Homo-oligomer: A and B are copies of this chain.
């Protein structure tokens, strides 16, 4: 029944690594929905379609499974990519010193990512509340780079005389606040319960305008 997921056709049986990945995928979905304590190893096992004992063959404990999963998400192959590494519009905005396009593209790319990987967002949020150390690691490796990048751009534009005197870190906090809070609202409440249901492009455009006007010289 799960044959179509198998990668090891030559053996006709699931390889260790494949099974491991399969368990991790199921665990991500469940932990992100119900948190660490709210998820049982039995649920994870039956989501994969194997016995509970198999979970403990691949991971010594529930805790280790959780850490492996966070670790893979945070520093693994599908680790978060920074918008400025992939988004051509953003690169162009920086070259052109087009402030509006700069903030617009960052906001849009970030909120798109949030929307695409809701489980990851929920996982991070749960981790932060439950105070798992890997959430801290993530926020200090990833978020501090975001602060440096956006803050660096603001500082540069201040030297140009385009932006007024304001602590770049505080400006970044304000800007991230707009978009992260917006994503959080979208992610925690489904469409019919939203106080504000607008396309991401509209949100990004408005946030960028408020930001640029807000710190313009």
Q: Which residues of A contact B (CB under 8 A)?
A: 34-38, 122, 125-126, 128-130, 136, 139-140, 143-144, 147, 166-167, 169-171, 173-174, 176-182, 185, 188-189, 193, 195-196, 198, 202-203, 206-207, 209-216
A-B interface, 5 closest residue pairs, ranked by CB to CB distance from nearest: A177-B181, A210-B214, A214-B214, A37-B37, A177-B178
| A118→B100 CA distance, assembly (Å) | 36
State the copy count for this chain: 2
Contacts A173-B196, A180-B177, A215-B210; A34 near B147 (Cβ below 8 A): no
A209 partner, pick from B144, B212, B214, beta carbons under 8 A:
B214
Q: Apart from A37-B38, A170-B198, what are 4 other A-B pairs with CB-CB below 8 Å?
A: A129-B188, A136-B193, A173-B196, A212-B214
Residues of chain B with a CB closer than 8 A to A169's CB: 195-196
A140 partner, pick from B147, B193, B210, beta carbons under 8 A:
B193
Residues of chain B with a CB closer than 8 A to A182's CB: 173, 177
Q: Give the secondary structure class of A's interface.
A: helix
| A34→B210 CA distance, assembly (Å) | 37
Shortest C-beta distance, A6 to chain B (Å), equals 34
Shortest C-beta distance, A31 to chain B (Å), equals 11
A178 partner, pick from B143, B173, B206, beta carbons under 8 A:
B173
Contacts A130-B38, A177-B177; A170 near B125 (Cβ below 8 A): no
| A139→B188 CA distance, assembly (Å) | 11
Residues of chain B with a CB closer than 8 A to A171's CB: 206, 210
Shortest C-beta distance, A139 to chain B (Å), equals 7
A180 partner, pick from B181, B202, B210, beta carbons under 8 A:
B181
